[in-house]
Amino acid sequence: MTSKYFLPFLVILLSLFTSCKKDEFETDYNKSYAAWTAFKSSTKNNYSYSVITNSWTGQQTETVLTIKNGKVMQRAYTLKLMDSGTGAISIKQQWSEDLSQLNTHQEGASILTLDEVYAKAKKEWLKTSKDVDTFFESTNNGMLSSAVM
């Protein structure tokens, strides 16, 4: 496995495949977390992952975060728009921040390591309630793909 690994983390996605009850997602989460820690160890905590959003209007964003030695070192963002008439996709906005420029742009995913993403998923996104469906996917070699409440 290379140290540069793109892990799509789909925070907002209209078509999620798996709905989990509390015990179910805790077991899935624990398996996924174990896969993550094994991957992190194998790459010496150097990796990249993507956060992708899609809109019904044809807008798509992708933020790629690059982590070295457990710290976010770079964030790159692309906004693509689809022409509703032709279906052509064009890049509307694109930028990249290095360590000295992190958080200088409003757009893009939050600057989080995957350790922070897993913690946030467990504490916030995967909390269950009677009236709320919770979704959890781990389709990237067992690692977290999406977690939505």
Please report whether residue 1 resides in a domain: no
Please report whether residue 106 resides in a domain: yes
User: pLDDT digit string (tens) for 63-81?
Assistant: 999 999 999 999 999 999 9
Please report whether residue 87 resides in a domain: yes
Rounded (10°) CA dihedral 98, 100, 105, 107: 40
Q: What is residue 6's predicted lDDT score, i.e. its pLDDT?
A: 33
Q: What is residue 30's predicted lDDT score, i.e. its pLDDT?
A: 83
Please report whether residue 2 resides in a domain: no
Q: How far is CA 125 from CA 58, 88, 121, in A?
A: 26, 34, 5
User: pLDDT digit string (tens) for 94-146?
Assistant: 999 999 999 999 999 999 999 998 888 778 766 655 555 555 555 555 555 55
Please report whether residue 21 resides in a domain: yes
Please report whether residue 3 resides in a domain: no
**Collapsed DSSP state (helix, strand, coil) of residue 45:** coil
Please report whether residue 95 resides in a domain: yes
Alpha carbons within 13 angstroms on the beta-carbon side of residue 41 total 6
Sign of CA dihedral 81, 7, 134, 17: positive
**How far, in Å, CA of 108 to CA of 128, rounded?**
27
Please report whether residue 91 resides in a domain: yes
Please name every residue paired with 96 in a beta bridge, in sequence order, or none if there are none: 76
Q: What is residue 121's predicted lDDT score, i.e. its pLDDT?
A: 79
Q: What is residue 40's predicted lDDT score, i.e. its pLDDT?
A: 92
The domain in which residue 23 lies consists of 8-148
Do 73 and 66 form a contact (C-beta atoms < 8 A)?
Answer: yes
Does residue 2 surpass a pLDDT of 70?
Answer: no
User: pLDDT digit string (tens) for 6-58?
Assistant: 333 333 222 333 444 455 556 777 888 888 899 899 999 999 998 888 888 88
Split into its structural domains, the chain has a count of: 1
Q: What is residue 62's predicted lDDT score, i.e. its pLDDT?
A: 94
Does residue 1 surpass a pLDDT of 50?
Answer: no
